Amino acid sequence: MTRSSTAVAAPLLALLLLGAFGCGESRPPTMLAEYNVLVVTPDPLWSAVSGVLDDSLGVRPFGLPAEDPLRLTQRDPEAVTTSDLQRYRQVLVVGGTDVSFVADALEGSPAAADLPALSTTRDVWVEGQEVTVLALPAGADEAGMRASLGEVGRILHAGLTTWTLDRMYAGGTHPEIDSATVAAGFGLDVPGIYDWRWASDSVLVAASRPNDMDPLLRTVLVTWRPLDETESTPESLLDWREAVAATAYEGEQTTRRDPIEVSEVTTTGSPTLQVRGFWSAIVDAELRGGPTLMRVVDCPEQGRRYLLDSWIYAPNRGKYRYLIQLESILDSFRCAP
């Protein structure tokens, strides 16, 4: 069982900041995108580490090809530079305690008494950075490190989610949408970078701004009906979306009925029906499509049943990070403003 700690001992900071990586290197002007992770591990260990990490970091969003949302770059402890370390929001240090770098890093940590030991700390080389140290028993093999690196995978995915949402909301929520949703009787946190419009008196559409260089499009829609006018079932949800999409979206979208994934989530204090699926449309004589995330939320105090719809158009790229963004926006829905 891996012992964990939320702080790495002071000797790690002294070692990494002063001794191990040299002095006088200039701070890089910008950090790399949030999906980049620096892995500091000895070269001979990297092949085993990378094989296990690949298994724990890969994701397969429903109905989509598997993808690797995190991009790993490896450096040997003897070769990594301060400039390298300052460019990454997430740094992972892996090695046996027979490597002096790892032993010094873990000295004094509460987790150090029992190996493998996993510790994390923040703000080491740059503000907002998270550093994870995994110390392995001397001679650890791939099987021995699999469980520990599985936990590391969860930490790195959580970091990706945090920084993805921080970036999306860097400019705050959209003040006009905030006012519009309050006036309509509900709450929704939409990033300030989105455009928005009322497609009808009870259909609000918010979407990211595409451009000629990048066709990426993320869209969120909120509409409602009287609580007793429609059922809260997957079939009724898909029918409702189909009817709204015909006029609210470009290209008369079709809501595909297969495959779909049905589940329940709890974000408003009560179970909420959620359906993942796919849309398609002909736009400018071109067939387009992508994933959808839909929910039906009941607000008995208002006598309303809400449809929350979201979808992505992101050709020739991974969808995982954009699904994180849309799921976060839907999670922010509130019956009361």
Quickly list DSSP for 41-64: --HHHHHHHHHHHHHHH-B--TTS
The residue count for the chain: 337
Question: Which of 42-51, 89-98, 151-160, 178-187 has the highest mean predicted lDDT (pLDDT)?
Answer: 178-187
End position of a domain, from candidates 111, 140, 168: 168
Find the domain containing 146 and state its range: 3-168
Question: Which of 26-35, 179-188, 252-261, 314-323 has the highest mean predicted lDDT (pLDDT)?
Answer: 179-188
Same domain assignment for residues 14 and 151: yes
What does the pLDDT read at residue 112?
54
Same domain assignment for residues 40 and 142: yes
Return the closest-CA partner of residue 117 out of 207, 26, 7, 29: 7
What are the CA-CA distances from residue 215 to residues 200, 208, 285, 314 (Å)? 25, 10, 15, 7
State the average pLDDT over residues 272-288: 91
Residues paired with 262 in a beta bridge: 275
pLDDT reading at 331 higher than 90: yes
Task: Name the pLDDT band for 266 (thresholds 50, 70, 90).
Answer: confident
Same domain assignment for residues 137 and 194: no
State the average pLDDT over residues 64-77: 88
What does the pLDDT read at residue 17?
42
d(CA 167, CA 161): 10
Dig out the tokens for 234 from the structure.
């997957």
d(CA 66, CA 322): 15
What does the pLDDT read at residue 252?
80
Q: Per the omega criterion (within 30 degrees of 0), is the bond before 234 cis?
A: no
pLDDT reading at 165 higher than 50: yes
Specify the number of domains making up the chain.
Answer: 2
pLDDT reading at 208 higher than 50: yes
d(CA 163, CA 32): 12
Better-scored residue on pLDDT, 145 or 320: 320
Torsion of CA 10, 13, 15, 20, to 10 degrees: 170
d(CA 140, CA 4): 18
End position of a domain, from candidates 137, 168, 199: 168
